[in-house]
Amino acid sequence: MDGNGLAAARDCQWEVDGLRYAGLAWGPEAGLPVLALHGWMDHAESFRELAPRLAGCHVVAIDLSGQGLSGHRAAHASYNIWDDLPQIAGLLDQLGWEDCVLLGHSRGANIATLFAAAQPGRVRALVGLDSLVPEPAAEDAVPTLHGFIEGTRRQGARPPRVFATREDYVARRIRQGNARRTAEALAGRALEPVPEGFRLRADPRLFASSAVKLTAGQIEHVLGALRCPVLAVWATEGLRQVRPQAAALAERALPGIAQAETLEIAGDHHAHLDPGAAEWLAAEINAFLARHLGEQG
């Protein structure tokens, strides 16, 4: 048990396509399989409050490539939101899961939606926390490609950020809009001790623009391809305020999905890291899974 009386996480490691993936697991291995995908510049600890509260579930939260304790992609590779999709399929194979529930937060929710649309037979249900799809891009792809080339070169040449103290990292995330609770929860797995202080583990190339971004029409096509039950959870102080087009696309599409539900949770973009909010959210997710997947949910 951890300090909050919740089941402690188990450390996990895999190698998929030559990439090292690390993660955390909670719950009985015979439970309902749930693969959790975190947001941008976060890691598996993002689910430390929510995952152990999902009754009867075997939750595996991975550090996506280039983040947390997972390995960085090769020098010529990129971090588009679809780049992890083949490795997610390979990870399911290694776990022995024919299918699973996908639980994603922010960028991880966008990745989960793409996977659910492209591999419908492998996803029993999809739960998106404060996102479901990325903000749509303009039709003109040239500025995006220009930004990708310049940003990738610039970030690839930049050394990892080093903070003199752990508190400096926490303070920076607070300045970026995170609650202290969130910043402190994510600090440990995000930082690596070095003689100069604490080095950010994340690959600097994650700050570069994607090579290609989906248009509104492409996003609508992705949403229209979903065949599993979908639960979209929106935070009252979350991404709907800063990415209204993406939220609007998802909200327009969900009524056309036979088993889609929407929830609103009080709090910010990382509300699931608040113990009280996580308790409420876990009960809602448990109920959603039970409604759509039967007693195993």
**Span 88-117, pLDDT tens digits:** 999 999 999 999 999 999 999 999 999 999
pTM of this structure? 0.94
Of 159, 144, 155, 264, nearest to 212 by C-alpha is 144
Q: Which residues of the chain have pLDDT under 50?
A: 296-297
pLDDT of the residue at 241: 87
Residue 97: count of CB within 10 angstroms of its CB: 17
* Top CATH class, 10-136+213-296: alpha beta
pLDDT of the residue at 114: 98
Beta bridge partner(s), residue 23:
12, 62
Model confidence pLDDT, tens digit, residues 1-38: 565 668 889 999 999 999 999 999 999 999 999 999 99
CA distances from 184 to 45, 166, 191 (A): 11, 9, 11
Beta-carbon contacts of 143 under 8 Å, excluding residues fewer than 6 positions away, are none
pLDDT of the residue at 1: 59
Query: What's phi and psi for 269, nearest 5 deg?
Result: -60, -30
Asked if 152 contacts 77 with a C-beta cutoff of 8 angstroms, the reply is no
